[in-house]
Amino acid sequence: MTSWNGLNTAYFTEDKDDHIYNALVKSIVEHQLLPGSKLPEEALAEVFSVSRTGIRRVLQRLAAVQLVTLLPKRGAHVTTPDAEESRDVFATRKILECANLPLVIARCQSPHLVALKKLVQEEKRAHDERNGAAAIRLSAAFHVQLQAISGNKVLTESVSQLTLRSSLAIAAWGAPWQQGCRCHDHDDLIDLLKKRDVAGLTAGMAHHFDTIVASLRFEQHNGQTPDFAQIFAAQKPVTGKEPG
């Protein structure tokens, strides 16, 4: 199945609740549903024309991958990663992605460079148009496609999953217009990849993540209930409402 960032990953499955699950994932990681946002079962059931039981199943799946927090008597909220967790997510990505770069360089071919360059161009366009959702999606896609060059599917899937949690950290603690990564960083990484400069590419990637973490501003946010009808207006499933 195609994931929120446009790539085929095993992170998404084929269960019957996938439509709602993927719609919520997309809205969370693209910052339409911000950290702390309330996710009441009744409101979501109404907008997706399904039962509260179906919504509850989806929320439990999202909680299992740490995108949603379920609290007794307080319901579901989009997870707000604290400062330590946010730093740990990027530290983990830094370790994984940097360690895999020698294999990425060893297997990189011209078509890979062309595909990465196209992603960066699209990312720049999204930034210029202040299309935050597209900028976030393309930024994540760059990192996942870069790691995919290595052929290590397990690591690539791990990076894909971590991009979801990275987006939460940026939504929670980033500047008002901090959507994804800095485009010129990605350009620089492509240049180093083209030169097959292992040391330079590894240092550049490490600096890239350090810069992101340094830009985060760790302040508290208050949860709100979003306008689900507006967010999911075009994403209702075609099937009828579930019984129960």
Lowest mean pLDDT among 5-9, 53-57, 99-103, 205-209: 5-9
The residues of the chain that CATH labels 1.10.10.10 are: 17-78
Query: In the prediction, which pLDDT does 243 show?
Result: 45
76 with 168: CB under 8 angstroms? no
**Which position has the token pair 């770069």?**
101
Tell me the Ramachandran region of residue 178: left when phi exceeds 0, alpha when psi lies from -120 to 50, beta otherwise.
Answer: beta
Which CATH number fits the domain 83-215, given the four candidates 3.40.50.2000, 1.20.120.530, 1.10.1060.10, 1.10.1370.40?
1.20.120.530
Of residues 193 and 18, more confidence is placed in 193
Give the tens place of pLDDT for each residue, 114-156.
999 999 999 999 988 988 888 888 999 999 999 999 999 999 9
The residues of the chain that CATH labels 1.20.120.530 are: 83-215
Return d(Cα 36, Cα 77) in angstroms, integer.
5
What kind of fold does domain 17-78 have according to CATH?
Answer: Arc Repressor Mutant, subunit A (1.10.10)
Whole-model pTM: value is 0.78
Report the candidate in 32, 33, 50 with the shortest Cα–Cα distance to residue 41. 50
Q: With cut-offs at 50, 70 and 90, classify the pLDDT of residue 244.
A: very low
Q: CB 103: neighbour CB atoms within 10 A?
A: 15
Return d(Cα 134, Cα 152) in angstroms, integer.
26
